[in-house]
Amino acid sequence: MNLLAVERIKLFTTRSPWWCGFIAIALTAGFGAILAAASSDDNPISIGSTQFGYQFGVAVIMVLAALSVTTEYRFGTIRTTFQAVPHRTSVLLAKAGVIALVSLVIGEIGAFGAWGVCYLIRPQDGLGLSTSADWINVAGVGVLFAIAAVIALSVGVLVRHSAGAIALLLIYVLAVENLVQVIPKVGSKIHNWMPFTVADNFLHGANSAPPGSAASDSVLSQGESLAYFAGFAVVMLVIAIGVAKKRDA
């Protein structure tokens, strides 16, 4: 509990997490608003489309998460941290816990913000959250943010340099997974099993995907997709903790 408080203090006593948080919310909600404004009675907006901006929001969240640990390496505070708490596993688990929780909250604000704005702009489009699929589509964004943040944190621990970690994460999330489809024959099959594609499948399931993201034909159900994505994050975190324990701080 103490360690969670420590990581919370560390996170909120610098400015970049605040900025990242606001930008993530603004992007998630803002794109929803733009799409709502662009839709018409002939072309109504769907609940899936209100969450279109999450892909950009999650990228910013991953920057936040990676920075939370790479700045510690950059400024040497990781050494002060390990000096204060030599049990490195606890430190990194606490860090992951706090980052995940903060990302969850940011994600939910962004997602419901996007949905709310769209609802206000297009009240006639039937954006009420009636089915559980609708709920997952909106509320799931926060969960996705939390898991993505743990992945980014792990990459941050492994890479240790802000620029390197962020470049790696953004290129991967925004480009690599989609580019894999270009590989002849097996490309689309591999693509279906890549973590962020699976995460997207968790939000939408077999429903129509929002514009911009490739239609998913994954064999996983939404629940399985969530478990797969979370499992990937856990594996990354375990690797990161293992490496951090072995390495000189």
Tell me which of 41, 42, 43, 83 binds other proteins, using CB under 8 A: 83
Least distance from other proteins to the Cβ atom of residue 18, Å = 11
Least distance from other proteins to the Cβ atom of residue 84, Å = 4
* Angle subtended by helix axes 222-246 and 195-204, to nearest 10: 150
Least distance from other proteins to the Cβ atom of residue 85, Å = 5
Least distance from other proteins to the Cβ atom of residue 158, Å = 18
- Which residue's structure tokens are 């969450």? 51
Least distance from other proteins to the Cβ atom of residue 106, Å = 20
Contact between residue 169 and residue 70 where contact means Cβ atoms under 8 Å apart: no
Displacement of CA 204 from its chain's centroid (Å): 15
Q: What is the DSSP letter of 181?
A: G
Residues in the interface with other proteins (CB under 8 A) total: 27
Least distance from other proteins to the Cβ atom of residue 14, Å = 5
Site membership for other proteins, residue 87 (CB under 8 A): yes
Contact between residue 129 and residue 138 where contact means Cβ atoms under 8 Å apart: yes
Question: Helix, strand or coil for residue 161?
Answer: coil
Cα separation, 185 vs 168, in Å, equals: 26
Amino acid at residue number 162:
S
- Which residue's structure tokens are 């606490």? 94
Count CA atoms closer than 13 A to 202's CA, side-chain side: 25
Window 5 to 34, contacts with other proteins (CB under 8 A): 5-6, 9-10, 13-16
**88 vs 122, beta carbon nearer other proteins:** 88
**6 vs 227, beta carbon nearer other proteins:** 6
DSSP letter string, 15-67: SHHHHHHHHHHHHHHHHHHHHHHH--SSSPPPHHHHTTTHHHHHHHHHHHHHH
DSSP letter string, 197-216: HHHHHHHHTTSPPPTTSPPP
**16 vs 178, beta carbon nearer other proteins:** 16
Site membership for other proteins, residue 161 (CB under 8 A): no
Tell me which of 38, 84, 179, 183 binds other proteins, using CB under 8 A: 84
Tell me which of 34, 39, 44, 85 binds other proteins, using CB under 8 A: 85
Site membership for other proteins, residue 243 (CB under 8 A): no
Site membership for other proteins, residue 248 (CB under 8 A): yes
Q: By rule CB under 8 A, what string of x and - marks binding of each residue 61-80 to other proteins?
A: ----------xx--xxx-xx
The residues that touch other proteins, with contacts defined as CB under 8 A, are: 2-3, 5-6, 9-10, 13-16, 71-72, 75-77, 79-87, 246, 248-249
